[in-house]
Amino acid sequence: MLPYIVSVAGISVLTVLLDIILPEGNIHKYIKSIFSVLVIIVVISPIVKTLKSDIDFDAIFQQGDQYQVDNNFLLATNAALTEEKKLSVIKFLDGRGYEYAGIDLISDSLDSKKVSYVNIYLYSDSIKEKDKNIYIQEIQEQVSGYLKIEKANVRVILW
């Protein structure tokens, strides 16, 4: 690589020196054209060498079998993301004044970005008997909107 860089720099410096030394005129124009062609040849020469050599391009671009999935890392990452979402739902419920006992976030797949079901455990002592259905529906609507899941997938369980 170093000889290539030296040759490109050398031909460029030589072209600049000749441009400075030669007087303006017809011959200056022709010599400048010749050195421009030489610069192009020097720049292109490694490409020509690469095309003439016996390089196995298929071996270079076939690297699919070199990667392995680390399932433990994926599970740990998914657990951390689920816990983060759980904390955000807790903060969301706290901000609206709901008194909860616990929350479970359930995903159907390894993709923890998508929550499938939510179980919210509430203390029934803090809710009046006649307001239970209204209270549960409000929580279902707000949590389903917050997590962008269907309202039917938010289960509110009274303790």
In this predicted structure, what is the pLDDT of residue 133? 80
The confidence band for 65, taking pLDDT boundaries of 50, 70 and 90, is low
Please tell me whether residue 116 adopts helix, strand or coil conformation: coil
Question: How does pLDDT run across 126-153, given as a tens digit for each residue?
Answer: 667 777 788 788 888 888 888 888 899 9
pTM > 0.85: no
Cβ proximity of 157 and 139 under 8 Å: no
In this predicted structure, what is the pLDDT of residue 77? 84
**Res. 111: pLDDT tops 70:** no
Query: Distance between CA atoms of 28 and 155, rounded to whole angstroms?
Result: 86
**Res. 78: pLDDT tops 60:** yes
Query: Distance between CA atoms of 148 and 133, rounded to whole angstroms?
Result: 21
CA angle centred on 144, ends 142 and 148, rounded to 5° = 125
Average pLDDT, the chain: 80
- Domain ranges for the chain, please list them: 2-63, 71-158
**Res. 112: pLDDT tops 60:** no
The confidence band for 63, taking pLDDT boundaries of 50, 70 and 90, is low
Which one, of 123, 121, 122, 115, lies nearest residue 146 by Cα?
A: 115
Q: What is the number of alpha carbons within 13 Å of residue 126 lying toward its C-beta?
A: 12
Question: How does pLDDT run across 13-28, given as a tens digit for each residue?
Answer: 888 888 888 878 788 7
The H or E element spanning position 94 is: helix 71-95
Fold exhibited by the domain 71-158: GMP Synthetase; Chain A, domain 3 (3.30.300)
Which one, of 114, 102, 112, lies nearest residue 150 by Cα?
A: 114
Question: How does pLDDT run across 33-42, given as a tens digit for each residue?
Answer: 888 888 888 8
